[in-house]
């Protein structure tokens, strides 16, 4: 129906004219998305704020764990014992326990980070520069996980030094904390925290994409991880084997629940696959209208 | 839909955008209804229509953000189903600029440069183009709406795109800003770059666009060169007597003397449509003589070309203004 004053538009078949591969398309979509997110999280002021929060949580959590250390008992839901803290991994054992306490906070942060991209419209803006939706999202989340793990490493160091300062006052022997075994235990603790962070991020990403709203997403997560997981968990013995929040707690703080780390990892792996699938389908099928 | 064939075909040009019966339904509501149009390369194309006509939805489909319910389209010769293949060569600002409020303008552009693998050396260039060089280091959240629009345009220009799609780019700008953006858009269309700009500021569109796509209620109303749209509008002889009381008498005189005159009481004037073959100068002289012969003094006598706004309103409202 249209012509110009000097020429007619050709009836080129749809999709028949391929564009030359532009130089801008180089590199994987996932890496490009990660690079974009890295620009955000590696800003000086953002790093400084993160450090301040991490140090505060690490110092507070460690102090609480050391001061509250029990001479006997222990087990699910209780503080570490003096004996456990005197082991080679005692200096960093509090990291897992502290991380477990931050579960709801971490969940909310990841949900907000994802959902906000939709409410602000920045996901739309990013799609115009990198249109592969799934890699765009997971590249961003991947960098956030890496950033959080790096922060956990800083927290672990802070935990160790803080514990070292406070432990003698509580009668905890710290002589084993500088052994090779202590290094191995520290690596194990960091690995568990890394898995905990990654698992939390995967579930939070799914919630953020489905909700596309910070209040709705965070609200739903708070209701689930607070009243439902804990109240139901207190009254149903199977909850620790099936509820994701409690399974993540099993991973990050072994012994804090009755579920073994291995079983928790297998169940969480299955959940994570489902979450990634649901997220991918939601991303592909839903229009980006805001 | 109006079709314009102004001149004989002299060459064949592949359209930058080709839309064929594109439809989008949101539930029972049809936002875009079998829309068809083409945009030739190297033009500034205006995409106009009332609020809610489906402009943004159409642009969102072209940019891979919204999936069409039916119909087909291609951008830069690539089917709509493969936005990853054509979007690297497209720059776009759709709806309001959505960037990170806590990041500076430069940081926001660095994020997008990393995402699109754009050369970061382009950042100061595009900031300068939109007049934001001095504020690039300020946080986006502190920008005025006009500055946000400028940064959105800068972001769209980052990749030096072949096709630039701008959705209401002058929203929130003051008159000076509107003129600057208008001049900028006009300068951006080159042999290798096409600009598609949606706007409700018809005066702006008329000044910068050489091609028009007009839609209403999701359906196409016109697609073709701006000259074909506005040029097909009527020329009018406008006659204003010194006293409003003479309007009706003068109208009767003119009508009796072969003129198809119509009174516009609100503006205190008469309008006489001119046929294409009419000589405006001679017709004006005839009207002046007639008025003078009956003792009516004319305070104004001249011709008017129907403007884009008049033509647009006539099309979308059926002439009922």
Interval A193-205: pLDDT, tens: 999 999 999 999 9
Tokens of B102: 């806590």
Helix (H) or strand (E) holding B214: strand B211-216
Percent of chain A with pLDDT over 70: 87
Tokens of A239: 């909850």
Please give, rounded to a whole number of angstroms, the shortest distance from the CA of A275 to a CA of chain B: 23
Q: Could you write out the DSSP letters of every residue in B146-211?
A: HHHHHHHHHHHHTT--SEEEEESTTTT--HHHHHHHHHHHHHH-BTTBEEEEE-S-HHHHHHH-SE
Of residues B43, B78, B100, nearest to A19 (C-beta)? B78
Whether residue A53 contacts residue A160, with contact meaning beta carbons closer than 8 Å, is answered with: no
Chain B residues touching residue A128 (CB < 8 angstroms): 63, 65, 87, 90-92, 94, 156
Cα–Cα distance measured from residue B250 to residue A5, given in angstroms and rounded to the nearest whole number: 41
Whether residue B110 contacts residue B126, with contact meaning beta carbons closer than 8 Å, is answered with: no
What is the pLDDT at residue A268?
94
Please give, rounded to a whole number of angstroms, the shortest distance from the CA of B180 to a CA of chain A: 24
Q: Could you write out the DSSP letters of every residue in B48-60?
A: E--TTSSHHHHHH
Tokens of B70: 């039916």
What is the pLDDT at residue A5?
36
Q: Residue A263, Cβ neighbours under 10 Å: how many?
A: 13
Interval A205-222: pLDDT, tens: 999 999 999 999 999 998
Mean pLDDT of A130-142: 94
Please give, rounded to a whole number of angstroms, the shortest distance from the CA of A237 to a CA of chain B: 44
Q: Is A284 on the interface with B (CB under 8 A)?
A: no
Interval B228-257: pLDDT, tens: 777 655 678 889 999 988 999 999 998 988
What is the pLDDT at residue A72?
62
Chain A residues touching residue B92 (CB < 8 angstroms): 128
Q: What angle do CA A91, A97, A102 make, to 5 degrees?
A: 130
B 210-239 residues inside an 8 A Cβ radius of A: 211, 220, 223-225, 227-228
Is there a contact between B13 and A3 if contact means CB atoms under 8 Å apart? no
Mean pLDDT of A102-122: 92
- pLDDT value at A8 more than 70: no
Could you give the C-alpha distances from A175 to A87, A90, A107, A182, in angstroms and in order? Answer: 9, 10, 36, 10
List the single range of A14-18, A191-195, B187-191, B271-275 with lowest mean pLDDT.
Answer: A14-18
Q: Please tell me which residue, B118 or B177, carries the higher pLDDT value.
A: B118
Confidence tier at A24 by pLDDT (50, 70, 90): very low
Whether residue B76 contacts residue B165, with contact meaning beta carbons closer than 8 Å, is answered with: no
What is the pLDDT at residue B203?
76
Nearest-CA residue of chain A relative to B25? A287
Chain A residues touching residue B110 (CB < 8 angstroms): 39
Q: Is A225 on the interface with B (CB under 8 A)?
A: no
Whether residue B36 contacts residue B220, with contact meaning beta carbons closer than 8 Å, is answered with: yes
When the pLDDT of each residue in chain B is averaged and rounded to a whole number, the result is 86
CA torsion angle A210 A214 A220 A226 (round to 10)? 140
Is there a contact between B111 and A39 if contact means CB atoms under 8 Å apart? yes
Q: Residue A249, Cβ neighbours under 10 Å: how many?
A: 27
CA R_g for chain B: 24
Q: Is B89 on the interface with A (CB under 8 A)?
A: yes
Q: Is A42 on the interface with B (CB under 8 A)?
A: no
Cβ contacts of B118 within 8 Å, gap of 6 or more? A24, A129, B112, B158, B159
Confidence tier at B138 by pLDDT (50, 70, 90): very high
Cβ contacts of A101 within 8 Å, gap of 6 or more? A61
Highest-pLDDT range among A79-88, B78-87, B181-190? B78-87
Q: Is B87 on the interface with A (CB under 8 A)?
A: yes
Please name which of B173, B33, B22, B160 lies closest in space to residue B96, comparing C-alpha atoms.
B173
Confidence tier at B6 by pLDDT (50, 70, 90): very low
Is there a contact between B87 and A10 if contact means CB atoms under 8 Å apart? no
Tokens of B241: 């007597």
Q: Is B285 on the interface with A (CB under 8 A)?
A: no
Q: Is B157 on the interface with A (CB under 8 A)?
A: no
Sheet holding B235-241, edge to edge: B262-264, B269-274, B235-241, B298-305
Please give, rounded to a whole number of angstroms, the shortest distance from the CA of A38 to a CA of chain B: 8
């Amino acid at each position: 129906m249209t012509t110009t004053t000097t020429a007619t538009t050709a009836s080129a078949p749809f999709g028949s004219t391929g564009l030359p591969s532009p130089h801008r398309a180089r590199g994987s979509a996932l890496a490009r998305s990660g690079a974009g997110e890295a620009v955000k999280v590696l800003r000086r002021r953002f790093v400084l704020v993160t450090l301040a929060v991490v140090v505060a949580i690490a110092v507070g959590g460690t102090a609480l764990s050391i001061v509250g250390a029990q001479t006997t008992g222990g087990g699910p839901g209780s503080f570490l014992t003096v004996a456990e803290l005197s082991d080679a991994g005692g200096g960093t054992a509090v990291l897992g326990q502290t991380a477990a306490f931050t579960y709801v906070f971490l969940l909310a942060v990841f949900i907000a980070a994802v959902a906000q991209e939709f409410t602000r419209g920045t996901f739309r803006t990013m799609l115009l520069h990198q249109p592969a939706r799934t890699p765009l999202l997971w590249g961003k989340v991947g960098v956030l996980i890496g950033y959080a793990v790096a922060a956990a490493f800083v927290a672990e160091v802070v935990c160790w030094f803080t514990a070292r300062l406070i432990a003698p006052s509580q009668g905890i022997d710290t002589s084993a904390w500088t052994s090779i075994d202590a290094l191995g235990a520290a690596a194990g603790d960091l690995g568990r925290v890394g898995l905990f962070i990654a698992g939390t991020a995967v579930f939070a990403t799914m919630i953020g994409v489905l909700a596309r709203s910070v209040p709705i997403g965070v609200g739903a997560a708070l209701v689930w991880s607070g009243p439902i997981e804990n109240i139901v968990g207190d009254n149903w013995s199977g909850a620790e084997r099936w509820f994701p929040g409690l399974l993540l707690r099993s991973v990050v703080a072994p012994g804090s629940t009755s579920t073994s780390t291995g079983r928790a990892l297998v169940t969480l792996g299955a959940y994570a696959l489902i979450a990634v699938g649901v997220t991918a389908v939601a991303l592909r099928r839903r229009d980006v209208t805001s | 839909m109006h079709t314009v064939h102004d001149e004989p075909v002299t060459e064949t040009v592949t359209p930058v955008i080709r839309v064929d019966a594109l439809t989008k339904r949101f539930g029972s509501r049809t936002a875009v209804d079998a829309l068809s149009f083409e945009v030739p390369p190297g033009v500034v194309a205006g995409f106009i229509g009332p609020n809610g006509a489906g402009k943004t939805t159409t642009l969102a489909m072209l940019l891979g953000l919204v999936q069409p319910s039916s119909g087909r389209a291609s951008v830069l010769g690539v089917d709509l189903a493969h936005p990853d293949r054509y979007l690297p060569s497209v720059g776009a600002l759709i709806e309001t600029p959505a960037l990170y409020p806590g990041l500076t303008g430069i940081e926001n552009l660095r994020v997008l440069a990393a995402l699109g693998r754009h050369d970061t050396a382009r950042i100061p260039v595009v900031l300068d183009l939109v007049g934001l060089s001095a504020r690039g280091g300020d946080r986006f959240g502190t920008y005025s709406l006009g500055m946000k629009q400028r940064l959105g345009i800068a972001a769209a220009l980052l990749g030096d795109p072949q096709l630039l799609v701008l959705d209401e780019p002058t929203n929130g700008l003051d008159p000076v800003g509107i003129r600057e953006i208008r001049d900028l858009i006009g300068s951006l269309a080159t042999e290798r770059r096409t600009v598609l700009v949606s706007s409700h500021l018809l005066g702006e569109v008329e000044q910068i666009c050489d091609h028009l796509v007009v839609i209403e209620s999701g359906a196409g109303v016109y697609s073709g060169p701006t000259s074909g749209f506005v040029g097909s509008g009527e020329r009018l002889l406008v006659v204003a007597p010194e006293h409003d009381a003479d309007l009706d008498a003068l109208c009767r005189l003119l009508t009796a003397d072969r003129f198809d005159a119509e009174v516009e009481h609100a503006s205190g004037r008469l309008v006489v449509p001119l046929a294409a073959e009419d000589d405006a100068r001679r017709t004006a002289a005839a009207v002046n003589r007639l008025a003078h012969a009956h003792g009516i003094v004319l305070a104004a006598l001249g011709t008017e070309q129907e403007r884009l706004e008049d033509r647009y309103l006539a099309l979308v409202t059926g002439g009922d203004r």
